[in-house]
Structure 1
Amino acid sequence: MITRSLRPALLAAALLATLPAAAQDLLVRGATVHTASAQGTLADTDVLVLRGRIAAIGKNLGAPAGISVVQANGQALTPTLFGGISELGAEEVSGVEATADSRLRLEDQPARPEFDLSLAFNPDSLLLPVARAEGIGFSALAPNPGGSFIAGQGAVIRTQGDSQPLASRQLYLSLGGNVSAQSGQSRAAQWMLLAQMVEEARGNLPASSPHALLSPAGRKALASYLAGNGRTMVRVDRASDIAQLLRWAAREKVRIGIVGGAEAWKQADALAAAKVPVFLETLVNLPASFDQLGARADAAALLAAAGVEVSYVLNGDGAHNARKLRQSAGNAVAQGLPWETAYAGLTSVPARALGVDDELGSIAIGKRADLVLWDGDPLDVAHVARRVWMGGVEQALRSRQTELRDRYQAPAGSQPRAYLQPSAPRY
């Protein structure tokens, strides 16, 4: 709701009195506010932040004494953007196993849905400030399939480096040809094994059975998702696998999301009817596997036209390339997806699908003041984040990458550049 009064701001301040002292007050004046909510885009609008939360949105808002005022001069203001589904926060160097915690390999009992990657989240990861400086504020930390096509659990993290991920949890599994090695070289066996695991989780197969696939903790974890506590995210590409998945989810009453979805557009109407979001790899427009024979560049536009909520993931090393998700959205616009719909895929859609929309994903009163001021169109990679705030606290747009750039661009002195003393990192 647009308001000229500070009454909502004062109410919000009273409700948020318990927030950490580090949270700041802020007034962004005269921005083009892309709210990612039912309010849409608001021209020449102010956003007031009190104690790290959005307190008021409107024109000509009064600024409390001593508050920091930022003149936006019409530039785009957005919530911080979604960084995809990746190992961000649980991986430093993908080729060094000691720094990559996202894959579980256990020979004795490979199906371990109780595996929770969020326990390995590192708030000091050097990859977080790289993403944050590009306007990325939240991401889904997800395990990779290792010994089983059921990879385990993940959670939503904020790139500010909070000590703990947010409370929402997701279960991740993969289906199709890419994980056939984990299911007897047959995708049919994936459904056979999954059916038995469901029976175990529901107590229909004794835990003492020599044929049991799940540990007691695994049964409890899977039962929680079968009961609707959290969303089950399924990496799958082939249209026939997606159709089978939709039938299984309806029968078992499981809330699912599609990850990858190269051929999801073929099941667009069914996905829309089931209200299943698709986290699409929009840059996959050629068949890289037999499961992706139907990949096409305008898949996002086709899905959205049918009423499917679309967000994005990256094909490859998403932890190091979260900033490229804006390119995914921009490419989708070039292929027919409306700009506002593409923008929602970086903001409100993933927040809602992952269960954190009460905190993140839009500019609305009461939500976290995780904000980005851009020098142009946020979906155009030719433009960059000018300023980033998380919880109302301005973030230094610095990272290990910028530190190295500054160090080795510095003029040579009496010693080689390698001996220059870098300034203390502020990220």
Structure 2
Amino acid sequence: MRSFLTLAASALALAGAASAQDMVVLADKLFTGDAVIDDAAVLIEDGRISGVGMADDMEWDDDAEVMEVAVATPGFIDGRTVVGINGQYNIDADQDADEDTDPNGAELRVIDAYNPYEELIPYVRRHGVTTMHVTPGDVNPIAGQSAVVKTGGDILDDALISPSVGVLFNLGETPKAVYGGKGGPSTRMATASMIRAQLHGAKAWADKEDAGVDLEKQALADVLSGDKKAIFAAHRSDDIMTALRIGAEFGFTPVIAYGTEAYLIADTLAEQDVTVLVTPVLGRAAGRNETLNASLENAAILHDAGVNIVFATHQEGYVPKTRVLLWEAAIAVANGLPDEAAISAMTTAPAEMLGISDETGSIAEGKSADLVLFDGDPFEYVSHVEAVMLGGEVVHQREE
């Protein structure tokens, strides 16, 4: 089999036209997101997958462009990030994830701050991310509405998959630190009470006839009706349990972001069918009090307990303001998580959580041809992302 490197010129030639012609990707190993196929072929037509299986069982046109690789996976989906609303320079001008003027920011929308020309987008794309769940930051107890975007497109409309998929709630130390001196919640009790009060208010508003326009209450009413997901960012296990109590009170199952101590209550999370956005695997244990119990085995323990896990990067306080999703997953693999489970946590699991599994998240007939192509084991440090395909177009090609 020819190496991928011999096809670099061909791939570059395809970069502008791949979505309009037939292509075939031949992979020594193919992770579809649901299974692993050796000596596989993926057929691509008009930007979508038209066939997948063992190469010996597949047929394609003689004039189809062929790319041969060691390993292929679905395009990665970052389960939670601020890329696109926080920028690479880490200055006020490109930091829009946190609006710290009101502890209730339910009406705030990520799409109104998203910059498709932010340089961090091609940075994460060349590491395999083709879809992002972009959320607000950590400051507000009720932070605002998240969105799902592709890592391509010159304007928001070209990238947008879902303009408002969930509302982010923040528990723990950060809201206390920000609002304690502003007359807002200064304890965990007050943060939880404020969230509960706002949810009760939204319920009462939704039950009224002719209630009038209230953007905050409408967003929270959508959480209560199930139209939007409730995403609770929490590190400590007691904060995670607070999120579960609030969810039980109002009839929803929260998605847990961070989940630093989730492994301590893995059986409870599995019993309640809670999804955990493991963020990040390489979190600094000494960074703050609530992360002192961080464990590199968190993802593996949760997986073994039957908890649905999704990998995410979220944000960093230093340049370039984001982590690399693939490297976070690789550390989890090095600490006991099976390869297939790690791939799933970046592909099928986030696609299902975000309600986009009909379009992307796995390599299956009819879905968008979002693929990551490697020259070796994706979780080995010496391997490279050779190319990234988005909708059948080669949007990244590794330079020699």
Cα root mean square deviation, aligned:
2.7
Matched residue type, 2:301: L
Given that 2:316 and 2:322 are in contact with CA atoms closer than 8 Å, whether structure 1 keeps it comes out as: no
Structure 2 equivalent of residue 50 of structure 1: 45
**Residue 62 in structure 1 maps to residue 63 in structure 2:** no
Query: What one-letter code is carried by the residue in structure 1 that aligns with 2:330?
Result: G
Are the equivalent residues in 2 in contact too, given 1:86–1:319 (CA < 8 A)? no
Identity rate of aligned residues, in percent?
Answer: 31
* Aligned equivalent of 1:331: 331
2:254 is the counterpart of 1:263: no
Q: Which has the larger radius of gyration?
A: 1
What TM-score, normalized to structure 1? 0.79
- Give the whole-Å Cα distance in 1 for the aligned partners of 2:204 and 2:282: 42
Q: What secondary structure is seen at the aligned counterpart in 2 of 1:203?
A: helix
Aligned equivalents of 2:100 and 2:284: distance in 1?
Answer: 32
1:179 aligns with 2:175: yes
State the match for 1:286 in structure 2: 285
Q: Which amino acid aligns with 1:185?
A: S
Q: Does the C-alpha gap of structure 1 residues 24 and 185 become closer, same or farther in structure 2, counting only changes over 3 Å?
A: farther
Give the whole-Å Cα distance in 2 for the aligned partners of 1:30 and 1:291. Answer: 43
Q: Distance in 2 between matches of 1:103 and 1:76?
A: 39
- The residue type paired with residue 367 of structure 2 is K
Cα distance, 1:82 vs structure 2: 2.5
Listed as ranges, the gaps of 5+ residues in structure 1 are 1-19, 208-214, 407-427
Partner of 2:3: none
Stretch moving more, 118-127 or 227-236: 118-127
The 3 A distance-change label for structure 1 pair 79 and 156 is same
1:79 is displaced (CA, Å) by 0.9
Alignment of 1:88-167 (within 5 A): 88-106=83-101, 109-146=102-139, 148-161=140-153, 163-164=156-157, 165-167=160-162
Q: Offset at 1:313?
A: 2.9
Q: Give structure 1 regions of 4+ aligned residues with deviation exceeding 3 angstroms.
A: 20-24, 204-207, 317-323
Aligned to 2:131, the other structure's residue is in SS state: strand
Inter-partner Cα distance in structure 2 for 1:308 and 1:94: 36
Provide the C-alpha distance between the structure 2 equivalents of 1:32 and 1:396, rounded to a whole number of angstroms.
Answer: 20
Q: Which residue of 2 aligns with 1:203?
A: 204
More RCO (CA 8 Å, sep 6+): 2
Tell me the alpha carbon deviations over residues 157-194 of structure 1, each in whole angstroms, 9 at most, x when there is no partner. Answer: 11123633212512111101222133431100112111
In structure 2, do the counterparts of structure 1 residues 206 and 273 end up closer, same or farther at CA, with 3 Å as the change threshold? closer
User: What SS does the corresponding residue of 1:262 show, helix, strand or coil?
Assistant: coil
Q: Give the 5 Å matches for 1:17-32.
A: 22-32=19-29
Q: Which amino acid aligns with 1:101?
A: D
What is the aligned partner in structure 2 of residue 189 from structure 1? 190
1:36 partnered with 2:33: yes
Name 2:235's counterpart in structure 1. 237
For residue 10 of structure 1, what is the aligned residue in structure 2? none
What stretches of structure 2 of length at least 5 have no aligned partner?
A: 1-16
Structure-2 separation of matches of 1:380 and 1:355: 31
Give the Å deviation of 1:322.
5.1
2:90 partner SS: coil
Q: How does 1:203-222 map to 2 (within 5 A)?
A: 203=204, 216-222=214-220
- 1:353 correspondence with 2:353: yes
Give CA deviations for 1:201-248 in whole Å, capped at 9, x if unaligned: 0126999xxxxxxx8110011100111112221110111111121122
Of the structure 1 ranges 388-397 and 365-374, higher mean CA displacement relative to structure 2 is found in: 388-397
SS at match of 2:204: coil
Contact map agreement 2:235 2:291 (CA 8 A) in 1: yes
Question: Secondary structure in 1 aligned to 2:246?
Answer: helix
Structure (1/2) with the larger strand percentage: 2
Q: Is the 8 A contact 2:29 2:71 kept in 1?
A: yes
Mapped partners of 1:110, 1:321: distance in 2: 23
Q: Work out which of the residue numbers 224, 227, 246 in structure 2 matches 1:226.
A: 224
Deviation by residue 1:9-34 (Cα, 9 ceiling, x = unmatched):
xxxxxxxxxxx995443111344110
Kept in 1: contact 2:199–2:220 (CA 8 A): yes
Distance apart, 1:342 and its partner CA: 1.6
Q: CA deviation at 1:112?
A: 2.2
Partners of 1:356 and 1:256 lie apart in 2 by 18
Q: Which residue of 2 aligns with 1:415?
A: none
CA spacing shift, 1:391–1:285, aligned 2, 3 Å: same
Secondary structure of 1:36 counterpart: coil
Contact 1:128–1:161, Cα closer than 8 Å, also in 2: no
| SS across alignment from 1:104 | coil
Distance 1:30 1:217 in 2: 49
Matches within 5 A, 1:11-22: 22=19
- The CA distance in 1 between the partners of 2:340 and 2:318, in whole Å, is 24
Q: Is the 8 A contact 1:82 1:347 kept in 2?
A: yes
Distance 1:274 1:318 in 2: 36
Residue 8 of structure 2 is matched in structure 1 by none
Alignment partners' CA distance in 2, 1:390 and 1:319: 26
Look up the match of 1:409. Answer: none
Question: Aligned partner of 2:74: which letter?
Answer: P
Could you tell me which amino acid in structure 1 is paired with residue 142 of structure 2? I
